[in-house]
Amino acid sequence: MPLVRIPEPFDHDEWIYELKLDGFRALAFIDGHHCRLVSRGGYTFKSWPYLQTELAHAIRCDSAVLDGEIVCFDQDGRPNFHKLLFRRDWSYFAAFDAFDAERA
């Protein structure tokens, strides 16, 4: 969704807000003990093999699709895109939405 500038902060009880994580948006395709991280443009990320292994073993189902963000964090828990871009620290996958392919 494109950003829109508004003059005042928006707050409403019927809306839920998510933190903005500064990273790479990705889909994690889990199949058994294998995981493939794919960008919105269809590019398969190959720079985080340990993250793929961790995701494949952490998800407790045979197949799933997770929508999320690959991100690195500072000591204070804030996302740090520079660390992610230059592979300066451990990366994490922050999942937004999960889909269990077996139950579809």
Active site residues: 20
Rounded distance between C-alpha atoms, residue 104 and residue 10, angstroms: 36
Rounded distance between C-alpha atoms, residue 96 and residue 71, angstroms: 13
Calculate the dihedral angle through the C-alpha atoms of 38, 44, 47, 48, rounding to the nearest 10 degrees.
40
